[in-house]
Amino acid sequence: MSELINKRGVYIFPNLLTTGGMFFGFYAIMAALGKDYERSAQAIVAAGVFDALDGRVARAMNAASAFGKEYDSLADFLSFGIAPAVLVYLWALEPFHRLGWAAAFLYAVCGALRLARFNVQQHVIQDERVSKRYFQGLPIPAAAIIVSAIILFYQELGIHAEGGSTVGLWRWLPLMLTFMLGILMVSTIRFRSMKDFHWHRKRPFLTLVGAVVFIAVLTIQMASTLFLMSVAYLLSALHSHREYLRLLAEGKEVEEDEVQDLTV
């Protein structure tokens, strides 16, 4: 009986992390509807933290399952598909009328397609060093955090996109970004997954110090840090996709690395 209880406890914990991420996604929608765009963007970032944890915790506890995969995908669609689409539309796209509506809808649909493709792809990993190196298309959590980053960056600079009060490029940038992120999610461009990096195992102390420094910087300058990281990750696709094509040309096995985070 105790073993059964322990097993259920293991299953419940990663499930709670997924639910926590879903809570922040739902809160982001409510905050956006209340025109509290900064808190909405921050909630999406918080959902991203929970999403990064739940799968890793499930694997560490040996609590992965097909049910967790589906639950995680539903949570991702709410937190990183619907919530960012609602947020960016109410924050900056509404003055564009049908064009803004179309951009937000395209983002949400492409997010759903990205998750569906992610789930149905079956892989026979023959070379894990290569196969876990890439994502096909921009991951939906990354797209959502990029949306949040641009909103927080605007807020920090004192630029108000709501109501169409901005002019020139600052007004059109959110619209163009929303279209671009939607297209990137369903594209075949390869983005680095970072799953093959195990530097933390070789240098655990330095990794801990680096994590503390990063959290401190993020706390002090959250908007600027997220914005710069978002730009860097988007630009990194220029290198990662070229690297992917080179590995294919060399005849190496480069299976899609879309190994879904499995939680219960």
Burial 45-60 (b: 16+ CB within 10 A, else e): bbbbebbebbbebbee
Report the 10 Å Cβ neighbour count for 61.
16
Mean pLDDT of 73-78: 95
User: To which residue do tokens 């490029």 refer?
Assistant: 169
| pLDDT-derived band at 90, boundaries 50, 70, 90 | very high
Q: Which of 50-59, 95-104, 126-135 is least confident? A: 126-135
Partnered with residue 136 across adjacent β-strands are 190
List the domain boundaries for the chain: 2-249
Residue 241 CA neighbour count, 13 Å, CB half: 14
Q: Residue 2: pLDDT above 50?
A: no
Question: What percent of the chain is modeled with pLDDT above 90?
Answer: 44
Q: Which residue has the higher pLDDT, 261 or 71?
A: 71
Q: Measured between alpha carbons, how far is 16 from 59 in angstroms, rounded to an integer?
A: 15
- Whether 70 and 160 have beta carbons less than 8 Å apart is answered as no
Residue of 104, 62, 98 lying closest to 81 (CA atoms): 104
Residue 148: which pLDDT band, with cuts at 50, 70 and 90?
A: very high
Q: Are 2 and 17 in contact (CB under 8 A)?
A: no
Residue 74, classed as helix, strand or coil, is: helix
Mean pLDDT, residues 60-84 taken together: 87
Say which residue, 261 or 40, is predicted with more confidence.
40
Q: What tokens appear for 104 in the block?
A: 């937000």
Q: Kindly report the CATH class assigned to 2-249.
A: mainly alpha
Q: How far apart are the first and last CA of the chain?
A: 20
3-state secondary structure of 215: helix
Query: What is the spatial distance between Cα 99 and Cα 106, in angstroms, rounded to a whole number?
Result: 10
Rounded mean pLDDT of the chain?
80
| pLDDT band for position 58 (cuts 50, 70, 90) | confident
- Tokens 């978002």 label which residue? 230
State percent of the chain over pLDDT 70.
73
* 109-131 confidence digits (pLDDT tens): 999 999 998 887 644 344 444 45
Q: Give the Cβ contact number of residue 13 at 10 Å.
A: 16
Q: Residue 232 is encoded by which pair of tokens? A: 């860097």
